Amino acid sequence: MIQSQWGQGAPYNRATPTLNGEPTYPGCTTLALAQLLNYYRYRDHGVKEVVYAQDNDSLQPNQTEVDLTAVRFDWANMPNSLDGASNREKDTVATFLYWVGVALNVQFDLGDGSPASGKQLENAVRYAFGYNNISRRKMYVALRATGDGFKLYSDAEWYQMVIDELDQGRPVLHMARNQNGDGHAFLIDGYNAGGLVHVNWGWAGHANGYYDLFHLQPRGSESVWNEEAMIYIGLEPEAGFAAAMAPPVEPGDSTAITERGTVAAGEWLYYGPFTTAAGLEVTMAGDGDADLYVRRETRPTSEDFDCRPYEETSNEHCGMDAAGTYYIGVNGYETSSNFTLQIVIR
């Protein structure tokens, strides 16, 4: 399910605070959550402002502040890997990782990285990004065992909990310690017929593959990440949301998505990718004069597009009849425009 293979070193950490002139690491929890948010691509912004101070006075900047309601998550410029990526793509992913770290209230650091607790993760997911924030029964942390080693779930129960999440299309965010007491967060995003689970370790693709859920030892490593294991159950967007990268709908079915935004004159906002089985319809309504663009396979530009209605208002429509992957662009023409997009994926 998770296609991204992001890491913590350069260029992924080019937006984090610096310590003695060196960029700090986003942290493994930040990496895991960021890749999960990128999988769903639920919103193009967060739902709260985050302000806190770093404990280490030597960090620059020391005051960490991001208004997640005002920033925009530029999904179209977040490739699965930064190998060979453009500077814009590198900056976009690195900045997104920084924002996620701030939402987690991470204390940025060097060496072993920047840790975040399970509670920090829950608060960020629920209150900073607006995921399933209505009911705690629908989204919660499950602990494998108590602090003294008493198992709260049998092996069969624990395995089935993970499989049930995967069967619902929800990658599982897994946190655990190794035999030395070090902590790590990573993603389980699939399983095979042999009962092994697929792990994305958050190391830019290194050691990703299938493993025994009860012996999570990355290839080439002596660490086994199973102590004090905890997983997230029900971590998904609010009810009714369809992930843009979900499997294509069957012909005859359709999925509707609504996006709202404000675009300044000369500014571009992008949405997608949207994968379709039989095309899509995009209807834009609003004030001012925003221009709608749709393009297959890659984001549109003012010169390269598959649909551009050329209306003198923000009320425009594009209908695409072929199956494929589409990107939507909204460009501000002469004035700032408020708009609503109705996207129907067939």
Q: Which of 174, 184, 198, 318 is catalytic?
A: 184
**Token duo for residue 193:** 């017929």
For the chain, which domains are there?
1-241 (3.90.70.50), 255-345 (2.60.120.380)
Q: So what's the pLDDT on residue 282?
A: 95
d(CA 289, CA 266): 11
Task: Let me know if 184 is a catalytic residue.
Answer: yes
Mean pLDDT, the chain, whole residue set? 87
* pLDDT at residue 303 greater than cutoff 80: yes
pLDDT, one tens digit per residue, over 122-132 is 889 888 998 86
pLDDT, one tens digit per residue, over 216-263 is 999 999 999 999 999 999 888 865 454 444 444 444 456 778 787 888
Task: Let me know if 28 is a catalytic residue.
Answer: yes
Extract long-range pairs of 63-70: CB within 8 Å, 24+ residues apart: 64/17, 64/102, 64/108, 65/102, 66/98, 66/99, 66/102, 66/103, 68/99, 68/103, 68/128, 68/129, 69/45, 70/45
Choose the weakest-confidence range: 19-23, 42-46, 240-244, 332-336: 240-244
Over its C-alpha atoms, the chain yields an Rg (Å, rounded) of 21
The helix (run of H) or strand (run of E) holding residue 268 is strand 268-276
Residue 137 pLDDT class (50, 70, 90 cuts):
low
Q: So what's the pLDDT on residue 98?
A: 95
Confidence (pTM): 0.69
Work out the average pLDDT over 83-107.
94
d(CA 258, CA 43): 10
Q: Which of 28, 198, 307, 318 is catalytic?
A: 28
Instruction: Please check whether residue 89 is in contact with residue 77, taking contact to mean a CB–CB distance below 8 angstroms.
Output: yes
d(CA 243, CA 174): 21
Q: Residues 112, 113, 118, 119: what is their CA dihedral angle, to the nearest 10 degrees?
A: 120
